DNA sequence: TATGGATAGTTGAAAATGTCAACGATTTAT
DNA sequence: ATAAATCGTTGACATTTTCAACTATCCATA
């Protein structure tokens, strides 16, 4: 991580090595911006005792889509056992509840409790501010464009706008 | 990771949960595309006994910019101790060499050997193909745009085009 | 309708990564 | 000259990832 946002000012001064060809590499760019963003996100969410991971699970639990743990694992690109740990903790805190799947009794759906929904509301404010900080170098239109392109790369056209 | 690219065909079928609001979250989008890309990158680089990390170090060592280990750590968002391990391994394989810094004798610059350069050439072909696979949902122009926006978010305007 | 093969969640262990504090050697500032 | 800071390195510790097993349930089909 090793990123100096101590004073809260500069996100990153242009580095000598930016000139190297790796700055054209998609994987590197994604890793780097994700690293910057994770620090800010986790810092913003710490106030609510959440991290990026648990925040994601809470959002999906609160989506009304009643995801099963397997669906969470697939969607978040995590191992099913990691979902167990995340849901365990959120459930212990009374933020989400497990329910047996309606069609499939093996599966367990995860839904947010009222308490979880309230916490999420406050937390997502903080997350929004963190995201804005990551994107402070981009005007609003380009931020939207960046996110649209990421969605399209992941899932193809059809959902963006 | 849990991503089904076994047959080599579909990168990811549109998931039920795409409808959730987290699909608008920058951190999530970066994490997810990075996860997909890492799998493909590491698979492509495995043939050369490299991973994303060592590949990045090798590129920078081969850039002609003679980075010090500290500069590598800052640029790659890694702890200095991780750079030690990465350079140790590459040096042991004869792909890079450490040299004392010219101005600062505490520092050590890392440069690629001829052997490292040759390996890098072959590896970067494979990496390019992996990147193309990640971006197969985007036409060339949008791929370039995505990368330009990522660079701008990281370092501001000035280098892109 | 019973049997075999797949799948959901869970557990636990092993491997890989991340984080951090300390240290010697040097540099920089005073 | 001395003090404070920095670079690479080491080693300890925490967190995360990965994987194989296990039970319960579902599904296909003989």
pLDDT class of B12 with cuts at 50, 70, 90: low
pLDDT higher at B13 or A76: A76
Output the CA torsion sign for A46, A50, A53, A57.
negative
- Beta-ladder partners of B109: B68, B99
Q: What is the mean pLDDT of residues A10-39?
A: 88
Q: Which residue in chain A has the smallest CA separation from B24?
A: A147
pLDDT value at position A156? 87
pTM check: above 0.85: yes
Q: Could you tell me how many residues make up chain A? A: 161
How confident is the model over B78-118, as pLDDT tens digits? 999 999 999 999 999 999 999 999 999 999 999 999 999 99
Q: Which residue in chain A has the smallest CA separation from B41?
A: A27
Report yes or no: A116 and A54 within 8 Å, Cβ to Cβ.
Answer: no
pLDDT value at position B114? 98
Two structure tokens written together for A29: 């760019």
Q: Could you tell me how many residues make up chain B? A: 161
Domain B20-128 adopts which CATH fold?
A: Arc Repressor Mutant, subunit A (1.10.10)
Helix axes A52-61, A114-134, angle to 10 degrees: 130
Helix axes B140-155, A26-46, angle to 10 degrees: 50
Which residue, A108, A71, A111, is CA-closest to A94? A111
Q: What is the mean pLDDT of residues A96-124?
A: 96
Domain A22-134 adopts which CATH fold?
A: Arc Repressor Mutant, subunit A (1.10.10)
> Alpha carbon of B146 to those of A36, A149, B124, B153: distances in Å?
17, 6, 20, 11
Q: What is the mean pLDDT of residues A62-78?
A: 97
**Residue A101 dihedral angles phi and psi, to the nearest 5°:** -60, 145
Report yes or no: B131 and B48 within 8 Å, Cβ to Cβ.
Answer: no
pLDDT value at position A7? 34
pLDDT value at position B24? 96
pLDDT class of A143 with cuts at 50, 70, 90: very high
User: Which residues get their CB within 7 angstroms of nucleic chain C?
Assistant: A 1, 68-70, 73, 80-81, 83-84, 87-88, 98, 101, 104, 106-108; B 51, 53, 78-79, 81-82, 103-106
């Amino acid at each position: 991580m090793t990123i100096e946002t101590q004073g809260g000012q500069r996100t990153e001064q242009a580095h000598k090595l930016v000139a190297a060809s790796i700055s054209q590499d998609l994987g590197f760019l994604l890793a780097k911006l994700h690293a910057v963003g994770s620090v800010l996100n986790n810092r913003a969410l710490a106030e609510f005792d959440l991290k990026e991971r648990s925040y994601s699970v809470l959002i999906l639990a609160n989506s009304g889509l009643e995801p099963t743990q397997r669906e969470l694992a697939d969607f978040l690109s995590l191992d099913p056992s990691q979902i167990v740990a995340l849901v365990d903790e959120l459930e212990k805190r009374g933020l989400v509840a497990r329910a047996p799947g309606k069609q499939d009794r093996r599966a367990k759906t995860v839904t947010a409790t009222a308490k979880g929904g309230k916490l999420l509301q406050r937390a997502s404010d903080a997350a929004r501010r963190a995201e804005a900080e990551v994107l402070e170098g981009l005007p609003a239109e380009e931020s939207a464009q960046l996110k649209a392109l990421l969605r399209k790369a992941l899932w193809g056209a059809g959902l963006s706008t």
